[in-house]
Amino acid sequence: MATTKQIGMTIGLFLLVSTATIVAQDHDPTNLNLYYRYPLAVSGEFHSWTPFADYAGNYNVYELGGTVRYPIPSNPVFQPLVRGSYVRFDSLDEVNPDQWDHTQIFGGVGIGVINRLARNFEIGVEAFAGYSRSIFPNLTTEPVAYGNLLAAVAPRISLVPSFNFSINVQPTLRYTYGLGVVDTFDGFSFSFGIGAEYRLGQDPDSPRAEIRSIRLSQPNVGSVFAAMQSYYVNNPVGAVTIENTENFALEDVRVSFFQNGYMDSPTPATRIETLAAGETIEVDLLASYNGEVFTTEGVTPLTGEVIVSYTSRGRPAEQRESVTYDLHDKTALTWDDDRKMGSFITPADSAIRNYTSFIRQAGKDDVVDSASEPLQIAMLAYHALIELGVIYQVDPTAPFTQVQSNTEVVDSVSLPRDTLNRLTGDCDDLTAAYASMLETVGIETAFLTTPGHIYVALNTRVPARDYLIVHPDREMLLIVDDYIWVPVEITMLGSGDFLDAWRFGINEWHKLADDPDRRGFYLTRDAQSIYRPVGLRETDLGLQYGSPGRISRGFSEDFEDLTNTILTHVRDLAQERNTKRAYNTLGIYAARLGRFDEAQDAFQRASRMDTTYLDPRINLGSVYFLQGRYSQAVRAFEDAAVAMELAEDIPPSLVTTVYVNLSKAYFELGEYDEAEEFYLRAAQVDPDGVAEFEYLAQSSAGVGRAGEAASGPPILFADETEDE
């Protein structure tokens, strides 16, 4: 009789094996079941049965059986089975041992759930049911036979020493229900069976079983340029043709490219759910290189791998094909796309940042706050390069005039830090260096191309309508998105000042006005969205920056010339028209360009021409403000506010100008409550128009106030200008 302990062990083992099978099936990432799938298995088993209840006597009951199992191809964990067996009941009765001897012939069907946990180990559970025939040859004078219904469940543990052979341990719980007159042998019984199994098919780990369902042909990777590192992440570095050579479809085909030493992992190129029998496709290869590509010098020959993984009739497979190519260092490129220049503009370079900070310090006392700051910094940077001794020098091996039109020639563009070290450069080298210097302080740049040439342009951040503050000749300006841009022919270093470089640059642009397809304007930020700057290791260049005084003097001379050009034009207009508005306009431009004495004279003259004209009275206060005479500015603005309240039909824009200017003046004096009061008055008139001055409404003094004021918009002018 089966003991309680045996029953408990059987039930526990059944639950354990069932749970482990389900969990392993859900979480096995390698899917060994598919990999080691076999088409059919035939097993033989031996069982020694023990009933739960006494058979009204003692018996030796053993069973010899056989099972055929068929793993479902798409999910071989599930295995329908057919089972047959011979069961012998041998009575141990001492008086009449032969009377109750009998046999059962069983046949049935079922299903197994078998999970491969490792190459040599499986667990699972089987359940089956069927019909048996009991035959008693000695029970009466004639043989007695009757049928039975049987059902069983059997946990299973298998050791798989080789692909085609396994040894199984299979405790089994069975229930028998007799359909005849004898019910002695009905009920539950238990066995602890062992068996051996032969599996058809070929071991996938054997050399003969290697899957080669894909033909890789024409793998090709062209020359790779380190400077284009970010570009290759989303754009092809090469291509390969793959062909399914089988007469059946392949599933989950994945193509990737790997370069040992220069990639952290293979770069996926594509994934194909189903590749039909005989189908051929061309796949573009992508490459996610790591920072090691920036450490190479010259040309480095490499051998990479094209990797194709797929599932062939449920079995995973992988094929690899080598491909050789050249890796060029971070200074190399071909000019098939002018936007590649973006990779060589490196505003994040600490050496460039340090140098540009020195330049700004050199000119901080000369920069006029109310004029275009980007334009003035560009002038300072230009003269700093002159002071450093940087000059233009044609590349003797590959001049830009030749390589730009030939996309097959490999050119070399020096990184800005290297150009500053060598103090010479071709037009592309100097363009990269100058644009990097401007970009590092937040000045938006672009690069312009004409046949055989490249140079820089910068955004002055001056709206097109205010062009006079930049230059009175509109032909000297580029208008992009309603802002004024200034081109700079950076190769003029050492042979001309900033204004010469500006004139030369705009003339180069206008020469192709009738053939615009031959010139190009590329925003640096747009180019770098495709071609990110090359990676650099942070090191200081140890440059001797030169004399701040000479940089400042060079800048001041250029800015003085530009100021004279602008004011001469505006002054001539005022004298020609001789109107109050014309002189008010002259005063505004003189004030914004730092000519405060001329500005005061112009505003006073406009006031004398019409004592009720408020604009010049307000603007006198703005001149005081720009000079740092904040108390006088407050008095001038308050006088204008009183006159404004007494006047009729005052434009709202004039009201907000007075109140905002009062608020700014009080703010600079540290009288923050008054600053807030006048800002709120302005906001009542035009809340959207004064939103940029919102910092003035913070009534309590605190850390950061000075920074907010310095970064806020400049003082406002009452500007009812005449049309030109």
Output the 3-class SS for 156-219: EEEEEEECCEEEEEEEEEEEEEECCCCCCCCEEEEEEEEEEEEECCCCCCCHHHCCCCEEEEEE
Q: Which residues of 281-294 are buried (b: 16+ CB within 10 A; e: fewer)?
A: eebebbbbbeeebb
pLDDT of residue 704: 44
60 found inside a domain: yes
**Dihedral pair phi/psi, residue 268, rounded to 5°:** -65, 140
597 found inside a domain: yes
| Strand order from edge to edge, sheet including 299-312 | 224-225, 315-328, 299-312, 250-258, 267-275
Q: Of 228-237, 278-287, 292-301, 387-396, give the lowest mean pLDDT range.
A: 387-396
243 & 345 share domain: no
pLDDT-derived band at 105, boundaries 50, 70, 90: very high
Closest by Cα among 352, 372, 385 to 592? 372
716 found inside a domain: no
> Collapsing DSSP states into helix, strand and coil, what is residue 38?
coil
pLDDT digits (tens, 9 = 90+) for 448-481: 999 989 999 999 999 999 999 999 999 999 999 9
pLDDT of residue 239: 95
609 & 541 share domain: no
pLDDT of residue 25: 42
Q: How far apart are CA 504 and CA 491, in angstroms?
A: 10
204 found inside a domain: no
Q: Which residue has the higher pLDDT, 704 or 286?
A: 286
Check which CATH number belongs to the domain holding 621 and give it.
1.25.40.10
Q: How far apart are CA 485 and CA 509, in angstroms?
A: 12
Q: Of 205-219, 229-243, 521-535, give the lowest mean pLDDT range.
A: 205-219
Q: How far apart are CA 18 and CA 111, in angstroms?
A: 13
Q: CB neighbours (10 Å) of residue 359?
A: 26
472 & 518 share domain: yes
Closest by Cα among 19, 122, 29 to 79? 122
pLDDT-derived band at 404, boundaries 50, 70, 90: low
pLDDT of residue 214: 93
pLDDT-derived band at 215, boundaries 50, 70, 90: very high
pLDDT-derived band at 218, boundaries 50, 70, 90: confident
Domain count within the chain: 4
Q: How far apart are CA 576 and CA 574, in angstroms?
A: 5
Whole-structure pTM value: 0.70
Q: Of 71-80, 143-152, 413-422, 703-712, give the lowest mean pLDDT range.
A: 703-712
Q: Of 17-31, 46-60, 170-184, give the lowest mean pLDDT range.
A: 17-31
pLDDT of residue 702: 45
pLDDT-derived band at 406, boundaries 50, 70, 90: low
* pLDDT at position 699 over 60: no
pLDDT of residue 703: 39
Single-letter amino acid, residue 203: D
Q: Of 140-154, 191-205, 387-401, 671-685, give the lowest mean pLDDT range.
A: 387-401
Task: Indicate the burial class of 268 (C-beta count within 10 angstroms; 0-12, 13-18, 19 or more).
Answer: middle
Q: Of 146-160, 601-615, 710-724, give the lowest mean pLDDT range.
A: 710-724
pLDDT of residue 26: 42
Element spanning 107, H or E: strand 102-118
347 & 442 share domain: yes
Task: Indicate the burial class of 125 (C-beta count within 10 angstroms; 0-12, 13-18, 19 or more).
Answer: buried
Q: Which residues contact 638 (CB under 8 A, 6 or more apart)?
A: 662
pLDDT-derived band at 689, boundaries 50, 70, 90: confident
pLDDT of residue 693: 87
Q: Is residue 398 within 8 Å of residue 412, measured between CB atoms?
A: yes
pLDDT digits (tens, 9 = 90+) for 34-48: 888 899 999 999 999
Q: How far apart are CA 122 and CA 156, in angstroms?
A: 8
pLDDT-derived band at 395, boundaries 50, 70, 90: low
Q: Which residues contact 646 (CB under 8 A, 6 or more apart)?
A: none
pLDDT of residue 647: 81
Closest by Cα among 39, 37, 59 to 50? 59
* pLDDT at position 700 over 70: no
* pLDDT at position 593 over 60: yes
Q: Which residues contact 480 (CB under 8 A, 6 or more apart)?
A: 446, 459, 521
Domain assignment of residue 472, given as a range: 335-546
Element spanning 654, H or E: helix 652-668
472 found inside a domain: yes
Percent of the chain with pLDDT over 90: 69
Q: Which residues contact 475 (CB under 8 A, 6 or more apart)?
A: 506, 510
Q: Which residue has the tokens 């194709």?
A: 308
Q: How far apart are CA 462 and CA 637, in angstroms?
A: 26
* pLDDT at position 113 over 90: yes
pLDDT of residue 705: 47
Q: How far apart are CA 359 and CA 185, in angstroms?
A: 105
Side-chain half-sphere of 334: how many Cα atoms within 13 Å? 11
**Which of 146, 172, 199 is the last residue before a domain boundary?**
199
For strands 424-425 and 391-392, give the pairing.
parallel
pLDDT-derived band at 706, boundaries 50, 70, 90: very low
pLDDT of residue 195: 95
Q: How far apart are CA 623 and CA 715, in angstroms?
A: 9
pLDDT of residue 256: 96
179 & 109 share domain: yes
pLDDT-derived band at 401, boundaries 50, 70, 90: low
Q: How far apart are CA 497 and CA 557, in angstroms?
A: 9
Q: Which residue has the tokens 């032909």?
A: 475
Average pLDDT over residues 256-279: 95
pLDDT-derived band at 197, boundaries 50, 70, 90: very high
pLDDT digits (tens, 9 = 90+) for 626-662: 999 999 999 999 999 888 888 877 888 899 999 999 9
Check which CATH number belongs to the domain holding 114 and give it.
2.40.160.20
pLDDT of residue 574: 95
* pLDDT at position 592 over 90: yes
pLDDT of residue 396: 56
* pLDDT at position 21 over 50: no
Percent of the chain with pLDDT over 70: 90
601 found inside a domain: yes
380 & 294 share domain: no
**Which of 143, 178, 199 is the last residue before a domain boundary?**
199
- The Cα-based distances of 78 to 29, 73, 361 in angstroms read 18, 9, 77
* pLDDT at position 97 over 50: yes
Check which CATH number belongs to the domain holding 226 and give it.
2.60.40.2550
425 & 447 share domain: yes
Would you give the end-to-end CA distance of the chain in angstroms? 117
Q: Average pLDDT, whole number, for the chain?
A: 88
292 & 360 share domain: no
Q: Is residue 457 within 8 Å of residue 505, measured between CB atoms?
A: yes
339 & 323 share domain: no
pLDDT digits (tens, 9 = 90+) for 319-372: 999 999 999 999 998 888 999 999 999 999 988 999 999 999 999 999 998 899
User: Dihedral (C-alpha) 412, 413, 414, 416: value to the nearest 10 degrees?
Assistant: -170
* pLDDT at position 18 over 50: no
259 & 195 share domain: no
451 & 528 share domain: yes
Q: How far apart are CA 416 and CA 436, in angstroms?
A: 7
720 found inside a domain: no
98 found inside a domain: yes
pLDDT of residue 2: 53
**Which of 515, 546, 577 is the last residue before a domain boundary?**
546
43 & 74 share domain: yes
pLDDT of residue 7: 53
* pLDDT at position 596 over 90: yes
Element spanning 607, H or E: helix 596-609
